[in-house]
Structure 1
Amino acid sequence: MATDPPAGDLHLANVTKRFGPFLAVDELSLTVPQGAFFALLGASGCGKTTTLRMVAGLEQPTSGQVRLGDRDITRLRPYRRPVNTVFQSYALFPHLSIAENVAFGLRRRGIRDVKAQVEQMLELVQLGGFGPRRPQQLSGGQQQRVALARALINHPQVLLLDEPLGALDLKLRRQMQTELKRIQTEVGITFVHVTHDQEEAMTMADTVAVMHAGRIEQLGPPAQMYEFPATAFVANFLGQSNLIAGEVTGRSGDDVTVSAYGSRFTVPAARSRSVDGPVHLGVRPEKLALARDADSVPSGAQSVAGIVTDLAYLGVSTQYQVRTGWGTELSVFSPNIGSGPGGGSGGADGQLLPVGADVVAYWQPAHAFLLAREPGAGDQTTPLLDEAVPAS
């Protein structure tokens, strides 16, 4: 695929956007490396789409600068930027064929011989031979691929994707996640993807930036952010977390010691964002396991006793809610792998643990993490089967 000379990294420097008294984006600075698949992840109203629109030129920053490489594009009109956008609504022309929809941008630029480029684009999105059809003859996923081909045929230096899969059902959405990643790898241009869907961001992006209230809460590779979140917001937005309120009491070798509800816990210092004062001790639900009694807890593990208050069998796992002695409910995701120590479904015999059962939830200290806690803030847990990601 022929492209223009590389534009370089995308830089946003202290970008702020106000709509009257409302601060939508607050002094945001970030760099998207050339050729990266970058995801802006956040709930509705966090500023992610406004940020995307400022890159596209559809909104002007109140202050700050947008650059592509060494080129300042902050005040350039949208059509003068080497940027294209794919929206959630496909915006295809119903009276035009698929081929003519894809060729639209080339036609506007006065290019007459478009057949070869259109065929190449349709092959890229796995719609070879669909050129003569009309949009209404295609499924939602196929229409989204047409919209993608129409954007890519213009050879943008940056492709912006604004919730592009939000209108698709779950199966199609997952198929398109794989397709988008394949296409981005093949064409090698910068993709900036806005979404509220954590799975979407983690599946496709090289780098994820979690936005909250117009700011970046944390930015990094998905696995790193999931395993070692920087804040309580990130811990409960990028996946689910059990956050137990405690106080740091000191150090023990390479570990930080924490007191919480009369019990003593340790967390490796390397997995501690805070090493003094009030903290949240975090453990992901899938890192927890259940035992019938304290004698069944493996050596070296840390544990909390409780009672099963709810469960949901999901085939691949069973999700439990366990109420602790101090009243907090912990989420425990137990993989259904058959009988064995800890029980594939929670019990030592591999059977489901019933509501009301006395259990001990345990975890390895190396799987926990420590976050700074605002004084007075309590435990934070996510409800059973909650997605932890608000709908857009």
Structure 2
Amino acid sequence: MTAPATGGLTLTAVTKRFGAVTAVDDVSLQIPEGSFFALLGASGCGKTTTLRMVAGLDEPTAGAITLGGRDITRLRPYQRPVNTVFQSYALFPHMTVEQNVAFGLQQRKVKRAEIKPAVQAMLELVQLADYGHRRPAQLSGGQQQRVALARALVNHPQVLLLDEPLGALDLKLRRQMQIELKRIQTEVGLTFVHVTHDQEEAMTMADTVAVMNAGRIEQLGTPTEIYEFPGSAFVANFLGQSNLLTARAHGPSGEDVAVEAHGSRFAVPAARSRLTSGPALLGVRPEKLHLTVDGVPEGHNAVPGIITDSSYVGVSTQYLVRAPWGDELAVFAPNSGTGGPLAPGSEVTLHWHPAHSFLLAPDTTPEPA
């Protein structure tokens, strides 16, 4: 089942103010038709307000929202070809699963003969074909979420809005539903816009992620692009974990940028550098760092240190290593079975390939390293 071609969702310079507070600040987005798009950010960043403006629940202070080339900025919620799935599910407890899913079709005066097969098709899509006669209270949290999804999809909206839809589920079920949501989106071919504060959730499901901070889009791209080459210190620390060294860039050196940090010299590929001179932050992800007690591969950046903490977490051992200047750097070493863990107090050398580092402008200008 594939949705008809209807065009994408576009936000143009959208702003929302509540009195003196600017919740969404001049946001422009182009969300392609049929994509799975995530708005990712911490509480209060403006992501839910953005979603509510698309749904028609809040009206923009400025800017325009178009869907398939049609301006929907001032339309009432029921006039928009948009449906929303909330964290609370909002199912009718006195109705059966079938009746919940059929409700929207009945409100639209769809012929009774067409409702039953449409409802059954949706229940099959969300793998609840045998649960139609149950009531919501007889279902698990994950099953209730599937019913809410079926109820929204049965109306064939041009865009499905998902507001923290998995937030009430436990970790294992949440991960299962992440896979299910992506499967369903691929199968129906609709545009999904998903609001979440969960980085893993956004990266697991979305084709494109917009990281929001203080009402603005901090960075937009695929999960791989944003994780591997964050655009700011905020993104580097919000999407995963990063080691950020206060540094100074000394300009291009061949295909690299020469960087000095805490008395040591490093190289960062120019293609992974957001600046080439002046105060900077040298970043490397914990899983890209390696620990050794002997030699370092030729061409690797290296820092000596002492292990201060070791935590076994199954797939990896997570270390904290104190560098000579006092900061602790995080290292995630895979538990491949080829060597035992290193004990706190061990003297080690951290090293990494220059291509695994990145160079950012500092959020605030630091003193030269």
Amino acid at match of 2:85: V
Name the counterpart of 1:343: none
TM-score, normalising length: structure 1: 0.92
Q: How many residues align?
A: 366
Name the counterpart of 1:13: 12
Name the counterpart of 1:23: 22
TM-score, normalising length: structure 2: 0.97
1:373 to partner: Cα distance: 1.6
Matched, 1:141 2:142: yes
User: Aligned ranges for residues 279-290 of structure 1 at < 5 Å?
Assistant: 279-290=280-291
1:148 to partner: Cα distance: 0.1
Amino acid at match of 1:57: G
Match of 1:282, SS?
strand
Name the counterpart of 2:130: 129
Name the counterpart of 1:236: 237
Whole-angstrom CA distance in 2 between matches of 1:302 and 1:75:
55
Match of 2:277, SS?
coil
Report if aligned partners of 2:232, 2:363 keep a CA contact under 8 Å in 1. no
1:376 to partner: Cα distance: 3.9
Match of 1:86, SS?
strand
Whole-angstrom CA distance in 2 between matches of 1:109 and 1:153:
12
Amino acid at match of 2:126: V
Whole-angstrom CA distance in 1 between matches of 2:37 and 2:226:
14
Whole-angstrom CA distance in 2 between matches of 1:316 and 1:212:
31
Name the counterpart of 1:190: 191
Report the CA distance shift for 1:378/1:175 in structure 2 as closer, same or farther (over 3 A): farther
Amino acid at match of 1:50: T
1:378 to partner: Cα distance: 7.7
Amino acid at match of 1:100: Q
Name the counterpart of 2:357: 368
Whole-angstrom CA distance in 2 between matches of 1:352 and 1:89:
44
Match of 1:373, SS?
coil
1:141 to partner: Cα distance: 0.3
1:375 to partner: Cα distance: 5.1
- Write out the 4+ residue segments of structure 1 that deviate beyond 3 Å after TM superposition: 374-379
Match of 1:79, SS?
helix
Q: Deviations over 1:217-255 (max 9, x none)?
A: 000111111111111111111111101011112322111
Name the counterpart of 1:352: 341
Structure 1 unaligned residues grouped into runs of 5+: 340-349, 380-392
User: Aligned ranges for residues 52-131 of structure 1 at < 5 Å?
Assistant: 52-111=51-110, 112-113=112-113, 114-131=115-132
Query: Which 10-residue stretch deviates more, 312-321 or 365-374?
Result: 365-374
Structure 2 unaligned residues grouped into runs of 5+: none
| Same amino acid, percent of matched pairs | 70
1:212 to partner: Cα distance: 0.2
Report the CA distance shift for 1:378/1:86 in structure 2 as closer, same or farther (over 3 A): farther
Q: Deviations over 1:72-104 (max 9, x none)?
A: 000000000000000000111111000000001
Name the counterpart of 2:332: 333
User: Aligned ranges for residues 195-274 of structure 1 at < 5 Å?
Assistant: 195-274=196-275
Match of 1:277, SS?
strand
